[in-house]
Structures are given as structure tokens and as C-alpha cells.
Structure 1
Amino acid sequence: MKLKKVVSLLTVAILSTTLLAGCSSTKNEEAGGKTKLRFATWDSEESLALQEGLVKKFNEEHDDVEVVLEAYGSEFDTKLAAGMGAGDTPDLMYMWNYPLYSGALEPLDSYIEKEGADYKNSFFETLWNYNSYEESTYGIPVGYTTHVVYYNKDIFDAAGVEYPSSEWTWKEFEETAKKLTNKEKKTYGFGFSAKPDPYDFEMMLWNNGTSYLGDNDELKGNVNSKEAIEVYQAYQKMAKDGIALPTEGSGGTEMKAGSIGMFINGSWSITGFEEQGLNFGTTVIPTFREGNKAPSVVSSSGMAMSKDCKNKDAAWEFIKFWTSEDANKARIEYELPVIKSVAESEKLLENEIYSPFYTMLEQSKEYTPSSFKVKDWTEISEELSTVQEGIFNPTTLRDPKQSLDSIAK
């Protein structure tokens, strides 16, 4: 599953100009008597081939509509914003950054309402938070991942440590990491990114009762709150004590190499671990506050429609096809199903590896990322990224309080 997280300043500049000037209408062409719809995706390689097959299937089943897949790959945001600026917006597109793009998207609430309550209820509830902005729904969930703790069973077995329970605290997590650490074998109990993605890391602040911006949409008093500082100190202390390894990536490479016992990540790691034959398990993220349930940020993809699409009914039919049970099952190798019945029929809610992702989804209903609250998230994210790297980079390990105070405004 390829989920977008970061927008370049170039993209923001292009899109800002577009929305101020107003988007020109998308011109749907007639292709041999058929309505032509353009669908922009960020996928590539194997998952793109799967998408091409699904588009072909839809076209074969519809005599009056032809969907054309446009693969933007890693340049998705730049190409999408440039197309909007030139009045050449695709009719349908994958979407993640609704605050930034909402002005160019068609609200889908009326379409959802016409389908009936059962339609909306067929999706996992938490995902609607990630496909909406300012009380309007702009996307239908396509795929998602929450974050969980991955653990290397062989390292646990060698250290004589019991596998993690589904109800554990951060204190127990630290104690487990200490037991797994073996300096002679150069094995660390925990691995984490020395430059974590701010979007992802906010879930750890939620875990301790705070966030970057809070309800007042201000950094001051939130990102530098006592609770936030405690989280950064906890991570940094593990690094200083030599029981955690700050890495250049997420920790997946070190997990494969057998140099760390645990790390936190989304479902992206599963396929690689299984292909390697790694003996691993997954479990929920430990809570900072005993008695509470830890939440997770959700990396979610949705299907959106351009507000200037000339054939909205046909576009909605494709959206329903793309987000249907059958399509969810077809993409199961690349992304976690977003429809309850599919997760149940595929027995993912009972699966040792996959069920924690759904548990984390259920525990995250009430949380909304700061990136969904403000349109200048890119600038805030860059500041946070620089500060967090200074706190966690082994060559700096700057004081968390001073660092967070420096960006609180």
C-alpha cells in the first residue's frame, strides 16, 4: 500500500495559486460514444498492474463509460496540482491531503446518503475521520494501515522473554527492551527512526494525552506540554541507556538483520518479513497511561472526485466499484481491507499478525491528526521534523524541553 504523506512546497504553491484563481472545468471526452473518465493514482509497479486489471474489468462491464488510468507515481502531488493549475484536473483521484485539496474536490455526503445507512456503516468508522475535512466527506476509504509493535520472536526466545501481551504499558515496554538488549551480540531491544515522520509520531503524544496543536490549533502549550516532553524524553532515554537504536529508516532493515527486537510501523513491513521467513509477531502499541488504550495514527487512502467532473454519476459508479467488497479483496495483498465484511470473511480479525491493526483502528476513533486541522501543515511538519531529529539523532540528543519550546508559538 502506497500512502502519501508529504507535500512539497512547490506543490503547495501551485495549488494555492490554482484555488485562488479557480479551477477550470474538466472536459470529459467522448471515446467511441463512451463517457471518458480520467483516474489519477500514485501507485506503481506490481500494485499498478493490479489497478490496471481492475480498471479493465470495470470498462468491460460498462458499455457507456471508459476509465483511463493515469499513473503519477512518486510525482503524484506535483502532477495533480499542476493539472489543477492548468484546468486539466482528473475526474477521479486517490487522495490523502483533504485540507489542501478540498477546494478542488466534490463533497460526497449526498452520494453516500443516497446509498443508505448500511453503505456508510459497511466501512470501519475510524476511516471516515481520515477522508473528511470541515464536516464534509471528500473521499471513500480505499485502504489503510494503523501502526503496531512488530517483534522478533527468535530474539525474544533467545533472551527468555515472554512475547508481549495485548495490554501492556510503556514501562513494561522499556523493561522488555532492556531484557532483549545484548551488547555482545549488538542487539537492541527497540529500534526507531532518528527522524520520525511528524504525522506518524503524533500518535505517541496522543498516547500521553496531548497533541501537536490541540483544540486551539496552536503549538504553544501543546507540542511543548509536560505530557509531550515526557514522550520525547522516554524515547531519548532509551537511546541514551543503549536499549534503543535510533535508525535512518523506520527500523525494518534492522529487524530483518536481527539487530533489534521490536519496532513500530504500519502494515508495509509484513510482506518483506514473510518473504524473508522472519519469525515475527505483532501486537498493540503500549500505553503511556495505565488503564488507557493506546491510539494509532491512520495512514489512509481514499477515492475522491473532482468538483469540476462533468459526469459525476458515472464517476460515482466507478468509486463504488473501486471501493466494493470485490475490489477490497483483490487489493488485499497490498492494503488492509476497509470494509468490515471483507475483514471478517478473510478472518483478518482473528489472524495473529493482522488483528492488532484492526484493534488499533478501533482504539483510534476519537483522534484527528493535526495535519487535518490546518492548511499550513507542510511548514509545521518541516519544523517538527528538524526539531525531532535534533532530539533523537545520536550525535546531538538535544534537550527535549528546550527544543520543543523553540518551536512553540
Structure 2
Amino acid sequence: MHTQRISGQAGQTGRRWGALAAAAALVLGAAACSGGSDGKSAGGKVELTYRIWDSTQQPAMQKIVDAFEATHPSVKVKIQLTANQEYWTKLQADATSGSAPDVFWMNGPNAQLYESNGMLLPLSDKLAANGVNLADYPSSLVSLYQHKGKQYGIPKDFDTVGLWYNKKLFDAAGVKYPDDTWTWQTVQEAARKLTDASKKQYGILAPAFGQENYYNTIFQAGGSVISADGTSSGYDQPAATAGLKFWTDLIKDGSSPSLKSMTDTFPSQFFESGKVAMYYGGSWNSSTFAKNSALKDDVDVAVLPQGTKRAVVIHGLANVAYAKTKHPDEAAALVAFLGSKQAAEIGAKESGVIPAFNNTQQAWVDATPGFHLQAFLDELPYAMPYPTSKNTSVWQTQEPITFAPAWEGKSDVGAVAQKMADLMNTALSKEK
């Protein structure tokens, strides 16, 4: 996703999204502007602009656009590639000036900000006419792009998190590989057995990452990060403390490197060094690990171990249309096609991400043989939407800062959880 994936991971789709903490006022000012592409191309066709942020996906996106143009001969689509590091800043500026692209990629943390400020074209009344059935996508992903009863985005792709493990280290320690019977206790026991201080070998990595780590364990403990109505934090609940403590305990007993070590060396790179037995990582890691010739034959992945229940965070992109596009019908048609089965099948084979359209994911699994990537799909029945609010970044950027003392062993987990709840509730109260 990705850049710092919403909590701290780097990966291929460039999804560790840039913050828009100060964007609301600017976006509000943009609502009165006209925008989108100029109108007609030199050939008399309607010209639409489509902005993306991942160069590795551009060839696949171009093939999908070509397929759209073949069935919509009166429309020409121009792809705009903007690097992830600049994407959100540029989009904010373009929305403010009224020159945002007709169609563009959107993510969960920023969706409500754009939706609530009238910057996205409502699609609800355009779905049926364009052959879109929201039941064709995971419901937990669809809900990320709904606001006040309206649908603003059509899911493009998604990611979930699995337990990556090093088979070589497991074999050497005589520990059985992870499977769907594993629980938190199994992980803790295995991590201790797989740790060998004399070899500087660790059983697991426990960074303070939300999407990859503590969001999952909070959900597995029966807790929440944010209330269903988006008005209050879940960090002041015992389940949240339990979900956080799972990770701090792993550092405390020496099964994981220290927070400083995981800051100096990014966790996925730590795992790739072959000195760590387990890593909670995303589906996005598969392509990177597959390219590591020294690692690819030694690692595999399983579904996440369960706490009091099974749960995993799901996140993914959606395609959206600019509210002030001069061509709302054509833009809506493009968004619909980008989320179609045909587009998903192209993307599954060539983009490296899991397509959101149900039952099109097998091509993604088959594209990277050697890993049990089916694990990421097996988790869909209990997937939980990535926690968001109108101004997600305002409170989310405070999580690693607030939790750091607990990860360093300098503060009580419950105390930092309460502090985060207070910060978050203050931020949420200003969103009303």
C-alpha cells in the first residue's frame, strides 16, 4: 500500500498514505470550483483523466483503460501517474483549485474527508445503470466507501494480513509450522522456542504497527479501535489493552527485537534477513519476498492466530469520481468498469494486488507460486474494516507516538491506551 501502510509498512502499491490532517478547510473551499478535464479531446471524444500513484500497476491500468475505451468508443482516458509521496498533497491542491482529475484512487483513511466535504461524486443512483452490484465485493470493503447512506467508491483491490514464517528456523528448532489451529498462546510459546540470543535470532517481530499488528489483536480480543458510529475511541476498553499487551509482552520476554531495533531496521527487512522466525505481514509482502532469492524458498504464510475470536483487518483501494467533473455519466461509467469482473481479471494477473471483485482472486494466488497465499483469502469471512473517521490522520498519527513508551517498557499499557483514547475522543469531538 506501501509506503507507511497506514500504520508503518512499506510495500508495492504505495499505500502508506500521506496524511491530510489540515486538508478539511481547503477541501471545503474547493466545493464551489468546477473541475475535471476540459471536455473534448482533439478527436471530438470526451476526455477523462484518471490518476493513480503506483508505477508498477500502470501497465495493468492501461490495459484496463484500453478495454474500457473499446466498449466506450466516444471516451478517451488519460492516466496520470503521481508518486505516492506527492499524491495526496497534489490531490488536495487540485481539488482546491478545481482541477482534480475526473477519476482517481481513494483509500479508506481519506475517504470520509473527501466525501463529507462534497468532493466525490455520489454513485448510488448510477450503480444499476452501469451494471454494478455491491454484493460482488467484500462487504467490509464496500463499507469503507459509504457515507450517510451513499456509495462513493467502487472497490478496486484489497489486502489482509497473515502470519509469515521462516520454515528453516522452524525446522531447526523442531517447532511445527503455523496453521489455522494456532492461538495467541501458540504464538507466544513458539516465539520463545524460536528465539536464540546467542545467534541474535528472534521468534517474532512486534513493531507498533496498527494495520499489521495491534488492530488485528484488538479485534481478536473482541474490542474496537473506533465505535461503529465513529464518535468515540475504543482504546479505553479492556479488550484494546489486551490487544496491545500481546505485542509488548513479546518484546518484554525477549522474543522480539526492541522498538529501537525495529526502527533502525524496517521490520519486513528484518524478516528478510533470515534472523526472525515470524512476522505479521500483509498480502503486499508476497511479491517482495518472492523476489528475494535467498528467502523465497524458506518462507510461507498462514492465517492469523486467533484470540477470543478470529478477526483480521481488511483495507483496499476504491476508484472514485470527482464531484465537479464535467462528465459525470462518463466518469461513473469508468469507475464502474474499473471495478468490473473484466478489470479484476486483468489486474489479478498483472498488477500484483488482490482484486476486490469476488471470485477473481485465484489468478493473484497463482501468480506467485510457492507461498500459501490462499490464507489471505481464507480470512475474508471474518475481516473487519480498517478503522477510519472523517479526519483519520489527526488521531492515527498519534498512535505510534503515544504507544512508544509501552513498547519501550517505560509505561503501563493500560495507561497509554487511556491516553490514546483521550486524544482520540478529543479529535473525534471536533469532527462533528
TM-score past 0.5 threshold: yes
The aligned counterpart of 1:285 is 304
Which residue of structure 2 aligns with residue 342 of structure 1? 360
Whole-Å Cα distance in 2 between the matches of residues 33 and 324 of structure 1?
27
| Structure 1 residue 71, shift from structure 2 partner | 1.2
Q: Flag the 1:56–1:198 CA change in 2: closer, same or farther, 3 A.
A: closer
The equivalent position to 1:128 in structure 2, one of 142, 167, 171, is 142
Identity of aligned residues (%): 23
- Find the counterpart in structure 2 of residue 162 from structure 1: 176
TM-score relative to the length of structure 2? 0.83
**RMSD across aligned C-alpha pairs, in angstroms?**
2.6
Give the stretch that moved more between structures: 223-232 or 257-266: 223-232
The answer to whether the 8 A contact 2:141-2:385 is kept is no
Number of the residue aligned with 2:272: 256
Q: Assess if the C-alpha contact under 8 Å between 1:38 and 1:70 holds in 2.
A: yes
Deviation at 1:286, TM superposition (A): 1.2
Amino acid at match of 2:95: M
Instruction: Select 2:397's aligned residue among 355, 376, 382.
Output: 382
Shift in Å, 1:216: 6.4
Give the drift of 1:397. Answer: 4.0
State the shift of 1:56 in Å: 4.2
Residues 361 and 341 of structure 1, relative CA distance in 2, 3 Å threshold = closer
The answer as to 2:198 corresponding to 1:184 is yes
Q: Following the alignment from structure 2 to structure 1, what is the Cα–Cα distance between the partners of residues 417 and 364?
A: 44
What is the rounded CA distance, in whole Å, between the counterparts of 2:62 and 2:230 in structure 1?
Answer: 41
Output the amino acid matched with 1:370.
P
Q: State the partner residue of 2:62.
A: 52
Change in CA separation of 1:346 and 1:212 when aligned onto 2, cut-off 3 Å: closer
Structure 1 residues 107, 128: CA separation in 2 closer, same or farther (over 3 Å shift)? same
1:14–1:82 Cα contact (<8 Å) kept: no
Q: Which amino acid aligns with 1:65?
A: V
Once the 2 structures are TM-superposed, how far is the Cα of residue 233 of structure 1 from its aligned partner?
Answer: 2.1
Shift of 1:180: 1.1
Give the equivalent residue in structure 1 for 2:80: 70
1:314 aligned partner: 330
Return the letter of the residue paired with 2:405.
G
Paired letter, 2:355: P
Given the alignment of the two structures, is residue 241 of structure 1 paired with residue 253 of structure 2, yes or no? yes
| Structure 2 CA distance for partners of 1:16 and 1:3, relative to 1, 3 Å | farther
**Aligned counterparts of 1:357 and 1:199: Cα–Cα separation in 2:** 13
Separation in structure 2 between the aligned mates of residue 205 and residue 6 of structure 1, nearest angstrom = 22
Whether the 8 Å CA contact 1:38–1:69 is kept in 2: the answer is: yes
Which residue identity is paired with 2:393?
T
Mapped partners of 1:369, 1:47: distance in 2:
23
Name the structure 2 match of 1:211.
Answer: 224
Which amino acid counterpart does residue 36 of structure 1 have in structure 2?
E
Superimposed CA distance per residue, residues 140-165 of structure 1 (whole angstroms, 9 cap, x where no aligned partner): 11111011110111111111111112
Give the 3-state SS of the residue equivalent to 2:353 in structure 1.
Answer: coil
Unpaired segments of 5 or more residues in structure 1?
A: none
User: Is contact 1:3-1:300 (8 Å) kept?
Assistant: no
- CA distance in 1 between counterparts of 2:96 and 2:362 reads 43
Amino acid at match of 1:284: V
TM-superposed deviation, 1:217: 4.3
Q: Confirm whether residue 361 of structure 1 aligns to residue 375 of structure 2.
A: no
**Aligned residue among 128, 132, 135 for 1:113:** 128
Match for residue 16 of structure 1? 25
Distance 1:329 1:241, change over 3 A: same
With over 3 angstroms needed to count, the CA separation of the structure-2 counterparts of 1:211 and 1:275, relative to structure 1, is same
Q: How does 1:294-309 map to 2 (within 5 A)?
A: 295-309=311-325
SS in 1 for 2:372: coil
CA 1:255 to 1:325, structure 2 compared with 1: closer, same or farther past 3 Å?
same
The two structures have a TM-score, normalised by structure 1, of 0.88
Please state how far the C-alpha of 1:126 moved relative to its aligned partner.
Answer: 2.8
Partner-residue secondary structure (3-state), 2:180: coil
Tell me whether 53-62 or 140-149 shows the greater mean CA deviation. Answer: 53-62
Label 1:217 to 1:65 Cα distance change in 2 as closer, same or farther (>3 A).
Answer: closer
Distance of 1:198 and 1:51 partners within structure 2: 26
> Aligned ranges for residues 189-200 of structure 1 at < 5 Å?
189-193=203-207, 195-197=208-210
Q: Which moved more, 1:307-316 or 1:178-187?
A: 307-316
Question: How far apart, CA to CA, are the structure 2 residues paired with 1:386 and 1:276?
Answer: 32
Contact 1:191 1:250 in 2 (8 A): no
Letter in 2 for 1:280: V
CA 1:385 to 1:58, structure 2 compared with 1: closer, same or farther past 3 Å?
same
Cα pair 1:198 1:385 within 8 Å, conserved: no
Q: Is the 8 A contact 2:183 2:306 kept in 1?
A: yes
- Counterparts in 2 of 1:12 and 1:387: CA distance versus 1, 3 Å: closer
Aligned to 1:184, the other structure's residue is in SS state: helix
- Aligned equivalent of 1:94: 105
List alignment gaps of at least 5 residues for structure 2: 1-11, 423-432
CA distance in 1, matches of 2:377, 2:419: 37
Which residue identity lines up with residue 119 of structure 2 in the other structure?
Answer: A
Output one character per residue of 1:290-312: Cα deviation in whole Å (capped at 9) or x when no partner: xx22x111220011011222222
**Displacement after TM superposition at 1:369 (Å):** 3.6
Residues paired across the two proteins, number: 394
